[in-house]
Structure formats: C-alpha cells, structure tokens
Structure 1
Amino acid sequence: MIRFCLSLLISLAAIPASAQEESGKVTPLFAEEAILEITLTGPINDIVRQAERSTKPHPATLAGSGETHAITLAARGVSRRKKEICQFPPLRITFNDKPGESSLFHKQGRIKLVTHCRTRERAQQTVLREYAAYRLYNALTPESLKVRLARITYVDEGQVVITRLGFLIEDADDAARRLGMKEIDVGSIPVSALNREDAARYALFQYMIGNTDWAMRVGPDPDACCHNSKLLGAGKEARRELTPLPYDFDNAGLVDASYAVPNEALGLRSVTTRVYRGFCGLNSLIPAEAARLREMRSVLEAEIAATPMADPRTAESMTRYLNGFFEDIADDDTVQKKLLKKCR
C-alpha cells in the first residue's frame, strides 16, 4: 500500500491538474455491471470470412444504451483469428469521433471485444468463464483490467447474423489513468524492474486459474513487452517498480475452452494442469500472498457464483477447479511443495 501511494503521488506530480482530476475515476462504460445490450451493424460476414488474413477496419455502427455511434470494426488477435480454432474472431471497436460527456462511451477510443469463438449456443459458457477470470483478478486488486459483459446482436445488410454474449475490456491507458499511473511502452525487461508484490500476486493468480500462456517481462517481439500482459509505471519513462496487468485467459484451466491447446513447451497434456511459473526471486513473498488468498476464498467463490448467465454446470466446474488451487496452498508446507520448489 505504501509503495502504491508513493507511486500515485509521484505520477500525479508529473501530470497537469486537469489530468489529475481523472485519476481514480472509472470510465462510464466500466462503472456499471449490468449486461449491456449492443447492436453492431456492418460487413460482419466479410470480417469473419477474412479474419485469418486481414485485420482491416471496416465502417460500421454501434447502437446501445439509447446511442448510435459511427465506428470501425476489425478482427484482432492471433490464434483466435484462425479458422481451425474459431468460427468468429475477437473484434476491435474504434470510435470515429470521441463520444460526448453524457455518453456511456465517454472516454472510449478503441475497445477490445471478446466474442464467442464458436457459434453454437453452448460456447457462450466459455465466454462467461473467461469473463469470470477477469472478475477474479478485479476482486484481488484494483491493478487489473475491468470488463463489461454484453449481449451483442450482429447485423449485416439488414439481416441478423447472430446474437451472442461477449465482453468489453478496459483499455490499459484507462486503467493507468484510474490508478494514477502510465502505460509503459518498452521492450524486454529484467525481473528486477517489476514491483515484487505485484509480480508475486500476478504469478499466484495465474497459477490459481491454471494459465501458462503469459509473460510479464518479455513478449513475442523483443521490442514490445509483454506476452498477454501490459505494464504500468509511475511515469512514461519509469523502468522500475512496474506493475504487470494480465489479460487473455482463454488458455487457462479455469476457462477450459474446447479449442485451448496444452503448453507443449512445458510438456502439458491438459490445459487444466497447473504449473507454477513465478520467479524464484519472489519466493519470500508468496506465502503471505497465499495466506491472503485463503482469507479471500469466500469472496472469490462468491464472484464465480455471481457470474451472470453461467449455468449451474459451469459455476460448479469453476468452483471445483478453484478448490484444487486452495488444496495446493492449504498451508506453508503445501505452498513450498507445490509452488516454490517449482519456481524459475
């Protein structure tokens, strides 16, 4: 807490007063939790058909909450754009003009939309599982990306293509502003550049949800950190005490997506197998963080139970998976055996 307050004071001193007024505020879109009804109208079929080879933005409109906005719509992501993996790609919404102050979409410029990967109705439960993963991290720390669940109707040339659940993800810049920090654009970083407490919490959370598809200090491109993570710091030039923000959890065991592939590099045969990938230099912090999570168990279980539109089988499966994590961190001895001895 002391570290975070010092970071906040340093960052506030470096930005204008008008910008400081935005610190601590959640943008209107992510200030509420009610399921949002959205209609996206545009060349949906072309975007889907071309997704694997093109992320070209197409003119479209977004209607929701009594508003209509001109936008561009584009496929995004990497693996989920491949036809053999997903029948429908994740999308990026870009507003042509900045929505006004009275708009639900005020302060939004570009938004990531997590869509249904498979078109069958049952696949919506996978969307809800990944949404729940974000919500679990929200429960653990404000240093996380907020999400907003939506029911989206896709319309192409006057015809409804499909209506399915999806969720919108808070932009890292908005999260940074909310936290009084800045998003950091940097290449690979040493472990020592990370805030130790934040990195320990991040690593334990990823183990909790059974995710190995991440890196908090390197990315696929050595000039762009990190893999399925964003970095925040006290200022744009900060290179120490950096906070990693995780995203993209569809390969996690908690989500257990039908299209997820076990991590071959780790020799896994199932995506539900947990592997601890925290750094050994953080080992001294993990027992205390594990104890905090044990104290928060009822909060985390309640978060899963409250997942909107999750059917009983989905909620029970996620809770059962979470139970396995709490068995692994039942006491300091199990933490040592299951996690700390397997650090890297």
Structure 2
Amino acid sequence: MGKMQTNLGLLTICVFLSMSCFGQKDDNSKKLGKVSKLFSTEDVLEVQMAYSNRDLKKLTNDSTYINLNLTYRDDLDTLRGLPVRVRARGNFRRKNCYFSPVKLKIKKEDAKRTVFKGNKELKLVFPCLKESNNNDNVIKELLAYKLYEVISPYHFKTRLLDFTLTEPKGKKLQEHKIKAFFIEDMDELEDRFGAKEMKRNVHPLQQDSLYSIRNSMFQYMIGNTDFSTGYQHNQKLLFLNGYSIPIPYDFDMSGLCDVSYAVVSQIEGVELPLESVTDRLYRGFRRTDATMYSIRNEFLESQSRMMEIVENHKDYFENANEFEKCKKYLLEFFNVMANSDKFKSQILDKARTK
C-alpha cells in the first residue's frame, strides 16, 4: 500500500507540479489529456430531439437501438442535424421515471466537423418525473459531477443542455423543455489518461488509498450511499500504472439532490441506519490516521473553490429555495470537516474495516 501511495504521489507531483491534488479542471485537462470540444466549455448547449418515451422504453434494450435525429445549435447560432442511434438506459429510472435516461451512439463520419467529434457514445441525463423542481434536480446532480472534478482529475466530463423533446401524444405533439446534460463515455475517459477500465471487482482496501478516500469523502459530502466501489455499483474502476482508481457517477439518490423518488440504499441487502437520503453516513474504509487527515485537509482547502462552482450555477435554478438548500447542505459537510470532534465521530469512527 505504501509503494502504491508513493508511486501515485510521484505521478500527482509530476502532473500538478507544485499544485495540490485539487487543481482546477481546465489545468487538469491540459496536462492529463485532450478533452473533446463538446466538453471543453461550460456554455449551455441547445439540443432538440423527437421521440416517444413509451416507445423508447418498449423498443430498446442494452443491444437494441433506434435511429433518430439530434438537432443542436452550433457556434454560429445555426441549427444542425446529427443522425444518432438511441436506447433507454438505467434500471431504476427506466422503470420509474417518465423521462428515461438515454445512451447515444454516433458514427465517426457523422461526428466529423461537428462539436461531437471524438465522441462515439454519450450518456444523456434528464429529470426523472414531470414535477415541480425537476429541472433543479438535474442541476443538483450536475453539480455533483462538477464538484468531483475539483477532487480528482479522474472524473467524467459533463455538459449542461437546454433540451427540447417533442413527443407524439395521439394526434398531437407535446413539447417538453427541460434541463439535461451529457456525460462522456468511459472509452473517452480511458483515452484521456492512456488507461483501461477494470471490469473485475476489487475490494476498496486494494484500490489506491488516496483516491479511494477522496471518493468516499465526496460521497459523504453529497450524502450518497447508493454506491459500492467493491461491487462497482455506480462506480467505474480505472486501471492506471498498475493501480485501480474509483470513478463515481449517478448521484440522483444523494441527499444533495434530495429528489422525490429517492430511497435509502440497500446495496447487497444491507440496511443502513438512515431515515432519509439527506442523512449522512460515511461508507469508506479505514486507512491510516495520517492519510485520512491529509484528505480532510484537501477538502477544507477546496471549500472556497467548490462553493464558487455552486454559486456559478445559481442562475440555472428555477427555485431559489432549492439553490439555498443545496448550498446549506454542502456547508453542513464542511462544518463537520472543520470540527475535529465531529470528523472523528462521523467519519473516522464510522469507517469500515472489512
């Protein structure tokens, strides 16, 4: 374990020079690999599609796609069309949501000379239900991805969308104007780092200790227990230089998002002592005190940058109360991190040993 930490420590020093591991994402991108044009800006992308949610769920599966057209507004303010193949994805959301998440496939030839160049596959995240605050729920989940960019260079890139879905309803057409976002495919993330995805399960104590702790403290920060690094539930493992690095995704069940359909996780049948998804419980594993306190300090040093990211997304919220609730929830986490007694009782003492 010490050798693994030393090697990754040297890698981090080489990559970030004198910076801490919490570098800004633009700097990370330049040094650790090329980011495609689609994910190289924070500008909101306007996207339009037309399909039936019911048919999408009924006619597609993991291997069956339907052909559709995606329309987007380019840098010249011109609407352009792009042929794509689409399927519904996600087990829970596919069964319980009105708007099923989507996976897109794009032919290399079609993506040439477009903002989608370099992206063969993409995930597309929507609100789950047609309800109040549904767009704010999307922004909160997007924020989770953006905050993790501060914590680790090994993360999924995202792009916020103003999405219009035109859906046939009998003889009429219904138009849904919603917030959504793209998530880059794992293949693109692998290419950025010259790494490979690790398919087999690896116990968290055998994963890189620093990135494992960062991941676990991040999950505690957003109040998420709907993950397992050991079973790769809402987690991917990146194999780099002989070590496995966890990469989290899917945060809609977190306390930060606090969506109406969220339930306390019961992964592998384990019942957690939580009454609500907004209750926090540290699910990471015990490491040396020195390592745990070191990562604690990194989070505290990152607080201003993280809260700046939250503030930068304020105008995307439709309900000001949802924004304030989101901000308050994160500040509660930093209060725990800043208080030595709370850090010990809520994180160190709760850390798992097996």
TMscore range, shorter length: 0.7 to 0.9
Q: Residue in 1 aligned with 2:22?
A: none
Cα separation, 2, equivalents of 1:72 and 1:283 = 49
- Structure 1: stretches of 5+ with no match in the other structure: 10-20, 219-225
Residues 196 and 249 of structure 1: is their aligned pair in 2 closer, same or farther, counting only changes over 3 Å? same
Match for residue 36 of structure 1 among 38, 45, 48: 45
Q: Residue in 1 aligned with 2:153?
A: 142
Q: What SS does structure 2 have at the residue aligned with 1:103?
A: coil
- One-letter amino acid of the counterpart of residue 212, structure 2: A
Cα separation, 2, equivalents of 1:160 and 1:110 = 27
Cα separation, 1, equivalents of 2:233 and 2:244 = 15
- One-letter amino acid of the counterpart of residue 33, structure 2: G
Q: Residue in 2 aligned with 1:168?
A: 182
Q: What SS does structure 2 have at the residue aligned with 1:163?
A: strand
Cα separation, 2, equivalents of 1:5 and 1:163 = 47
- One-letter amino acid of the counterpart of residue 50, structure 2: T
State yes or no: 1:90 paired with 2:101: yes
Match for residue 3 of structure 1 among 1, 8, 12: 8
Match for residue 198 of structure 1 among 211, 236, 243: 211
Q: Residue in 1 aligned with 2:20?
A: none
Aligned residue pair count: 317
Match for residue 159 of structure 1 among 159, 165, 173: 173
**Shift in Å at residue 23 of structure 1?**
6.0
Residues 287 and 123 of structure 1: is their aligned pair in 2 closer, same or farther, counting only changes over 3 Å? same
Residues 29 and 289 of structure 1: is their aligned pair in 2 closer, same or farther, counting only changes over 3 Å? same
Cα separation, 1, equivalents of 2:108 and 2:31 = 20
Judge conservation of contact 2:45–2:161 (CA < 8 Å) in 1. yes
State yes or no: 1:46 paired with 2:50: no
Alpha-carbon displacement from aligned partner over 1:264-303 (angstroms, at most 9, x marks no partner): 5103210000000110135542211111211221111111
TM-score by length of 1: 0.84
**Shift in Å at residue 255 of structure 1?**
0.5
Q: Residue in 2 aligned with 1:309?
A: 316
Cα separation, 1, equivalents of 2:205 and 2:279 = 29
- One-letter amino acid of the counterpart of residue 256, structure 1: D
- One-letter amino acid of the counterpart of residue 183, structure 2: I
State yes or no: 1:322 paired with 2:330: yes
Residues 100 and 271 of structure 1: is their aligned pair in 2 closer, same or farther, counting only changes over 3 Å? closer
- One-letter amino acid of the counterpart of residue 41, structure 1: A
- One-letter amino acid of the counterpart of residue 216, structure 2: A
Judge conservation of contact 1:200–1:282 (CA < 8 Å) in 2. no
Cα separation, 1, equivalents of 2:109 and 2:93 = 29
Q: What SS does structure 1 have at the residue aligned with 2:153?
A: coil
Q: Residue in 1 aligned with 2:33?
A: 24
State yes or no: 1:266 paired with 2:286: no
Judge conservation of contact 1:151–1:164 (CA < 8 Å) in 2. yes
**Shift in Å at residue 181 of structure 1?**
2.2
Q: What SS does structure 2 have at the residue aligned with 1:328?
A: helix
Q: Residue in 2 aligned with 1:342?
A: 350
**Shift in Å at residue 343 of structure 1?**
0.8
Judge conservation of contact 1:42–1:58 (CA < 8 Å) in 2. no
Matches within 5 A, 1:238-249: 238=242, 241-249=243-251
**Shift in Å at residue 57 of structure 1?**
1.6
State yes or no: 1:57 paired with 2:62: no
Q: Residue in 2 aligned with 1:222?
A: none
Residues 59 and 99 of structure 1: is their aligned pair in 2 closer, same or farther, counting only changes over 3 Å? closer
Q: Residue in 2 aligned with 1:15?
A: none
Cα separation, 1, equivalents of 2:340 and 2:13 = 33
Q: Residue in 2 aligned with 1:333?
A: 341
State yes or no: 1:111 paired with 2:113: no
- One-letter amino acid of the counterpart of residue 207, structure 2: L
- One-letter amino acid of the counterpart of residue 309, structure 1: Y
Cα separation, 1, equivalents of 2:192 and 2:107 = 24
TM-score by length of 2: 0.82
Residues 5 and 107 of structure 1: is their aligned pair in 2 closer, same or farther, counting only changes over 3 Å? farther
Q: Residue in 2 aligned with 1:227?
A: 233
Cα separation, 2, equivalents of 1:257 and 1:119 = 12
Deviating above 4 A after TM superposition, structure 1's stretches of 4 or more consecutive aligned residues are 4-9
Cα separation, 1, equivalents of 2:68 and 2:93 = 21
- Structure 2: stretches of 5+ with no match in the other structure: 1-5, 15-29
- One-letter amino acid of the counterpart of residue 163, structure 2: I
CA RMSD of aligned residues (A): 2.5
